[in-house]
C-alpha cells in the first residue's frame, strides 16, 4: 500500500508517514514559502505543521487529486488562504485572484523581510501586518458597471 492510497483511504496518516513523504512535505513547504519570499525557520515549521495536520485530519478532498503533490499544494494554499482571511477579514482569499492579490500585498509589504517570521502565525495579534497589507493591496480595476454600446446603423431606414 503506497502513501498515496493510504491517504486517499483516510487512514491515520501520522503512523504511516515515510521518509519520502516527510521530504515531500518539507519541499512543498519550502516551495510555497519561496513563492512568498519567506525564508524563516518558524514560518517553515508552521507550514509543515499545517500540511501534516491537513493530511492527518484528512481534510483535503483527495478523490479529484492525482498525486500527493497536488494534495499538499491544495493544503498549503488553503492554509495560507485561511490565514489571510483571518488576517484581513476578507472572505475572497480562497479564489485564485483574491489569493494572488493577497500574495502580492504580502510580497510588497515584506520586501525587507520584516514580516517573514509572522507568516502563518495565528498566535500573534497581526493588526499591524493587516494594516501593512491593506496599504499594499493592488486594485487592478474598479467594479464592473456593465452596459451595452449599441452598434450604429448605416441603414437608411434606421437613420430616418
Partner 1 sequence: MSDSAAKNGVDDDNLDPTVKLRGPGVGSRRIFLFGASIFATAYAAWLMADVLGADQLTVMEMVVIAFFTINFAWISVSFFTGIVGIFLRGFGLDAITLKRLKPIARKGSLRSKNVVVIPVYNEDPDRVFAGLRASYESLAATGEIDAFDFFVLSDTRDPDIWIAEEVAWAKACADLKARGKIFFRRRAENTERKSGNLKEFCETYATHYDHMIVFDADSVMSGEAMVNMAYLMENNPDAGIIQSPPQPTGRQTLFARILQFISRVHGPTMSAGLSFWCMGSSNYWGHNAIIRVQAFIDCCGLPVLSGKPPMGGHILSHDFVEAAFMRKAGWRCWLIPQLEGSWEELPPNLIDYAIRDRRWCQGNMQHARLLFAPGFRPLSRLHFFMGVMSFGSSPLWLLLLLSSTIATLQNTQLTYSFFPSQFTMFPQWPVDRSFEMLVLLVFTIGMLVVPKIISILMVFLGRDRKKYGGVMVLASGVLETLYSALQAPIMMMLHAQFVFSVLTGNQVGWDAQERDDTGVPFKAALKTHRTIIVIGLIWGAVALFVDTAFFWWLSPILAGLVLAPWLTYWSSSLAIGRAARRMKLFVTPEETESPEELATLARLTAEAPDEDVKDGLLRLIEDPFANALHSALLPARKPDRRTQIEIGIIYEKLSRLGVESLTKDEKLKILSWPVKPLDQIMAGKKDENAKMPANSS
Residues forming contacts to partner 1 in the complex (CB under 8 A) are 27, 30-31, 34-37, 69, 73, 95-97, 99-101, 103-104, 107-108, 137-142, 144-156, 159-160
Three-state secondary-structure class, residue 140: coil
68 close to 3: Cβ distance less than 8 angstroms:
yes
Complex with partner 1: residue 1 or 147, whichever CB lies closer: 147
Shortest Cβ 74–partner 1 spacing (Å): 13
Complex with partner 1: residue 125 or 152, whichever CB lies closer: 152
Give the DSSP letter string of 36-60: TT---HHHHHHHHHHHHHHHHTT-S
Can you state the angle between helices 127-136 and 68-88, rounded to 10 degrees? 100
The CA distance from 116 to 38, in Å, is 5
| Contacting residues for 29 by C-beta, under 8 A, at least 6 apart | 44, 47, 48, 51, 76
Shortest Cβ 130–partner 1 spacing (Å): 16
What is the CA 51 to chain-centroid distance, rounded? 12
Complex with partner 1: residue 127 or 151, whichever CB lies closer: 151
Complex with partner 1: residue 127 or 156, whichever CB lies closer: 156
Shortest Cβ 66–partner 1 spacing (Å): 11
Shortest Cβ 125–partner 1 spacing (Å): 25
Shortest Cβ 120–partner 1 spacing (Å): 16
Quote the cell numbers at residue 152: 450604429
Complex with partner 1: residue 17 or 103, whichever CB lies closer: 103
Amino acid at each position: 500500500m503506497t502513501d498515496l492510497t493510504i491517504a486517499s483511504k483516510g487512514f491515520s496518516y501520522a503512523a504511516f508517514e515515510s521518509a519520502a513523504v516527510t521530504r515531500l512535505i518539507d519541499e512543498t513547504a519550502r516551495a510555497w514559502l519561496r513563492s512568498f519570499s519567506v525564508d524563516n525557520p518558524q514560518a517553515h515549521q508552521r507550514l509543515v505543521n499545517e500540511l501534516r495536520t491537513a493530511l492527518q485530519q484528512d481534510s483535503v478532498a483527495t478523490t479529484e487529486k492525482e498525486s500527493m503533490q497536488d494534495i499538499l499544494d491544495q493544503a498549503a494554499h488553503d492554509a495560507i488562504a485561511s490565514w489571510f482571511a483571518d488576517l484581513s477579514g476578507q472572505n475572497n482569499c480562497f479564489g485564485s485572484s483574491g489569493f494572488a492579490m493577497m500574495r502580492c500585498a504580502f510580497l510588497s509589504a515584506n520586501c525587507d523581510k520584516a514580516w517573514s517570521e509572522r507568516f502563518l502565525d495565528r498566535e500573534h495579534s497581526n493588526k499591524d501586518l493587516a494594516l501593512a497589507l491593506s496599504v499594499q493591496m493592488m486594485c487592478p480595476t474598479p467594479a464592473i458597471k456593465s452596459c451595452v454600446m449599441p452598434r450604429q446603423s448605416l441603414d437608411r431606414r434606421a437613420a430616418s
